Structure 1
């Protein structure tokens, strides 16, 4: 089933407007303007309204497409918290203004957090083992943990894992296993050990580095990673979710990879795109996903 999924009614987040390669968002009480390469249309709101609302605006450094600086209005903090709720799942996230324009959370992942929470609860295994690789600040890890999982959270950046731990504590959760490691190295080692998981979550970047300089390039590494996941995924009680944010990387690529690699294990599958909608009723695409499980929703 091909789906277009967006966030639900989330009190602490909204995409206010998008266009001219930017997006204007509200996180809790604060409005942020930052670059968005896929917003190629015109802005819905006038520029004066953007300037009035935005309390923090990200400007790229000259000659560096990746990094930049935030320009803050008076009263705009560099860190703050927002809340998230889905049914009886209640999480709290610390946000912060990074030099890479990120704030520590990807709101379009809302529907994936819900899927992880619901599916983990339906697994038959008591305290199912779930592995989250490229786990960033841990929203998906916490959704699995709140559903009763024995969760392993892996990211190659130590400071990001500290950030995820802050989110865990703010959400009144505990006992997450934190690992700072190159994802490919860890997956290869787990396969050699014969370790398996009931759930695997993947959100790999287009390009990245491991803690010891290991190189990750999505188009070169993804095929092997998916094959390693096949070896790690439990054969009877399971789910797998992968999300990609890489312009031009079609969901059909994921469809081919998953069906070729997992075969009949692909059940109750969903694939498609994640997006956010703004006040002008435009849909901003923010990644592709594929997910399947042994249990129906």
Structure 2
């Protein structure tokens, strides 16, 4: 099977900018507000001085000493608790996304994923199917779900955390869309039921964390469960016209691992692409932000 290996970075962002990276941190602009956050892969030096960073930033995230996954935002300038930014790819692909500073350093958006929103839009435009069915697993705040809905899909959005599903609904409504099917469930349990029911999807989007918990405490460990999940996804994908996007953020994984996982579980893999997602700061430093594998049969 022929594969294209790519490194992809978004091209259409106006409301987002990666300003500087280094010292295990990143400085980013989301609309009118600038945030400083930890970034474990930015192991090089900053291009700007510490004083320049602090002068620009509206807020800085400081990790807790005993829990590197959590922390507190320190406001350096006036900044609202919630605000919106916009993304536009194609004419149909117009998103208005709601942001907020959380105790886990996240703000409800992974900007590098814009390349996959564009891919979803382009694929749905070309699929010879009316209202194709798309399943978004580990869907977080739902930008990919809203992108698929904006481009004509019948979307099922699944996440194990009720609060982020509520956040996703706000993103759908802010973007002028409706009708997404919301599921709060464990992803593995749900797709096992879908296989037993004989349901099929034209598109599947997977964005699994390295570690996670289902709503009833079900344990998710990427290395142990992603192979089984892809086996099940192979049974759920419509055979004639389809697409699949897999994102993974584990620092120990390369896109070759993703390629092996997909190729060993799917009988046909057409127009395959895999590689790294990254963002570029003002000083042309490239920040890698995960790997992807995607394919489609149109």
Deviation at 1:134, TM superposition (A): 0.2
2:231 to 205, 227, 233: 227
2:145 is the alignment partner of 1:174: no
Deviation at 1:47, TM superposition (A): 1.1
The question of whether the paired residues in 1 share the 8 Å contact of 2:58 and 2:79 is answered with yes
1:215 to 212, 216, 219: 219
- 1:61 is aligned to 64
SS at structure 2 position matched to 1:131 = strand
1:191 to 192, 195, 199: 195
SS at structure 2 position matched to 1:185 = helix
CA distance in 1, matches of 2:154, 2:125: 12
Cα offsets for 1:4-36 (capped at 9, x unmatched): 000114110000000000000000000000000
- 2:40 is aligned to 37
- 2:112 is aligned to 108
SS at structure 2 position matched to 1:18 = strand
Cα offsets for 1:70-96 (capped at 9, x unmatched): 001342111100011112111100000
The question of whether the paired residues in 1 share the 8 Å contact of 2:9 and 2:279 is answered with yes
- 2:252 is aligned to 248
The question of whether the paired residues in 1 share the 8 Å contact of 2:90 and 2:121 is answered with no
TM-score of the pair, normalised by structure 2? 0.98
2:143 is the alignment partner of 1:139: yes
Deviation above 2 Å: which 4+ runs of structure 1?
none
Q: Supply the RMSD in Å over aligned alpha carbons.
A: 0.7
1:16 to 15, 19, 42: 19
The question of whether the paired residues in 2 share the 8 Å contact of 1:135 and 1:141 is answered with yes
CA distance in 2, matches of 1:9, 1:43: 25
TM-score of the pair, normalised by structure 1? 0.98
CA distance in 2, matches of 1:81, 1:131: 25
Deviation at 1:239, TM superposition (A): 0.4
Cα offsets for 1:226-255 (capped at 9, x unmatched): 000000000111000000111021100011
Structure 2 gaps of 5+ residues are none
The question of whether the paired residues in 1 share the 8 Å contact of 2:274 and 2:294 is answered with yes
- 2:287 is aligned to 284
CA distance in 1, matches of 2:53, 2:221: 36
The question of whether the paired residues in 1 share the 8 Å contact of 2:59 and 2:77 is answered with no
CA distance in 2, matches of 1:124, 1:186: 27
CA distance in 2, matches of 1:115, 1:33: 29
- 1:79-158 → structure 2 map (5 Å cutoff): 79-88=82-91, 89-158=93-162
The question of whether the paired residues in 2 share the 8 Å contact of 1:44 and 1:279 is answered with no
Deviation at 1:273, TM superposition (A): 0.4
CA distance in 1, matches of 2:142, 2:44: 32
- 1:165 is aligned to 169
CA distance in 1, matches of 2:25, 2:181: 36
Number of residue-to-residue matches in the alignment: 294
Structure 1 gaps of 5+ residues are none
CA distance in 1, matches of 2:137, 2:264: 21
